[in-house]
């Protein structure tokens, strides 16, 4: 049997920079996209790629996005000695082409979360219309390019505002996070882990346009796993709809059963 290969460590800033650029090419990320994902200014990424000094926090954020080992690259960036890593070491564990999500997302394996993969009826209250429930579809899939669960909203009545993001699953919590991040703007959904009924319940926190401005809003939300959507109703569901009673009951149970609490 052939011995396991070793990944040569970066030992200089030039080698660390080359590793970052290679990872960008592999993940097909532009400077602007990397800045967006790392939640920093594009000028900061330009400084980084130009080999100029940046904060360790910036280097950490970039490494997390690219699935690179922060400690090794940080030491090389500052000209310090780094340890040799095996092919099965931190670089692969961080998610660089492997089947394990980055540590900052929960370091979950694909096998451990494959029961989340599928489509969900998604219900929440309308932020603007009284006695109205917004119903749409959310698909969850595994992204092998950036190992983690990816969610995509579909069939929303306000389609231009549909979100796409990733699942953060902490090992010590009974709740998970569905987070979308665009140019520093974050929307977070905090729901219970998927139960035997195929449901996740919790709360959504986001911004909603009210007249001439956007304001923070929160409301209960439910995800119900579906094999098909026959009989389900999408869009703005009012009391006139036959689906309203059932949808309303599911949302009321989210609060009544203790999955979320709204405090005045």
Query: What does the DSSP assignment read for the chain?
Result: -PPPPEEPPP-SHHHHHHHHHHHHHHHT--HHHHHHHTTS-HHHHHHHHTT----HHHHHHHHHHHT--HHHHHHHHTT-----EETTSHHHHTTSSSSB--GGGT--BHHHHGGG-EEEEEEEE-SSSTT-EEEEEEEEEEETTTTEEEEEEES-TTGGG--EEEEE--TT-SEEEEEEEETTEEEEEEEEPP-TTSEEEEEEEEEEEETTEEEEEEEEEEEEEES--TT---EEE-TTSTTHHHHHHHHHHHHHTTS-----
Please state, in angstroms and rounded to a whole number, the distance separating the CA atoms of residues 142 and 144.
6
Residues 6+ apart with CB under 8 A from 264: none
Q: Report the percentage of the chain scoring pLDDT > 70.
A: 89
- Is residue 93 predicted with pLDDT exceeding 80? no
Q: Is the pTM of this model over 0.85?
A: no
Of residues 43 and 80, the one with the higher pLDDT is 43
Of residues 58 and 133, the one with the higher pLDDT is 133
Q: Cα 208 to chain center, whole Å?
A: 20
Query: If you write DSSP's letter for every residue of 221-247 in order, what string do you get?
Result: EEEEEES--TT---EEE-TTSTTHHHH
Q: Report the percentage of the chain scoring pLDDT > 90.
A: 48
Determine which of 79-83, 188-192, 220-224 has the lowest per-residue pLDDT on average: 79-83
Chain segment 125-178, per-residue pLDDT in tens: 999 899 999 999 999 999 887 889 999 999 999 888 899 999 999 988 899 999
- Output the pLDDT for position 263: 86
* Band of pLDDT at residue 97, cut at 50, 70 and 90: very low
C-alpha distances out from residue 106 to 113, 171, 225, Å: 11, 6, 22
43, two tokens: 């000028």
C-alpha distances out from residue 203 to 49, 200, 222, Å: 39, 10, 8
- Output the pLDDT for position 9: 63
- Is residue 75 predicted with pLDDT exceeding 90? no
49-73 mean pLDDT? 85
Please state, in angstroms and rounded to a whole number, the distance separating the CA atoms of residues 195 and 197.
5
Torsion of CA 199, 162, 60, 142, to 10 degrees: 50
94-113 mean pLDDT? 76
- Is residue 229 predicted with pLDDT exceeding 70? yes
192-207 mean pLDDT? 95
Cβ atoms 15, 72 nearer than 8 A:
no
Mean pLDDT for all residues in the chain: 85
- Output the pLDDT for position 7: 53
> What domains, with CATH codes, occur in the chain?
6-98 (1.10.260.40), 112-256 (2.40.128)
């Amino acid at each position: 049997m052939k011995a396991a290969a070793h990944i040569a460590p970066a030992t200089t800033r030039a080698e660390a920079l080359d590793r970052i650029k290679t990872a960008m090419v592999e993940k097909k990320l532009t400077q602007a996209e990397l800045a967006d994902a790392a939640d920093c200014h594009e000028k900061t990424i330009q400084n980084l790629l130009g080999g100029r000094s940046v904060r360790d926090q910036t280097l950490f954020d970039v490494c997390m996005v690219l699935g690179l080992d922060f400690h090794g690259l940080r030491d090389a960036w500052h000209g310090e000695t780094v340890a040799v890593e095996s092919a099965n070491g931190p670089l692969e564990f961080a998610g660089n082409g492997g089947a394990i999500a980055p540590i900052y997302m929960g370091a979950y394996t694909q096998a451990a979360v494959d029961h989340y993969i599928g489509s969900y009826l998604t219900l929440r209250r309308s932020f603007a219309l009284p006695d109205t429930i917004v119903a749409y579809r959310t698909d969850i899939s595994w992204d092998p390019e950036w190992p983690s669960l990816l969610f995509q909203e579909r069939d929303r009545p306000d389609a231009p505002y549909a979100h796409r993001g990733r699942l953060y699953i902490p090992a010590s919590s009974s709740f998970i996070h569905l987070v979308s991040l665009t140019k520093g703007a974050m929307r977070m959904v905090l729901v219970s882990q998927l139960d035997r009924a195929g449901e996740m319940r919790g709360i959504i926190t986001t911004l909603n346009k009210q007249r001439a401005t956007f304001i923070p809003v929160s409301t209960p939300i439910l995800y119900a796993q579906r094999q098909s959507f026959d009989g389900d109703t999408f869009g703005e569901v009012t009391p006139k709809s036959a689906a309203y009673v059932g949808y309303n009951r599911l949302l009321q149970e989210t609060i009544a059963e203790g999955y979320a609490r709204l405090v005045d």
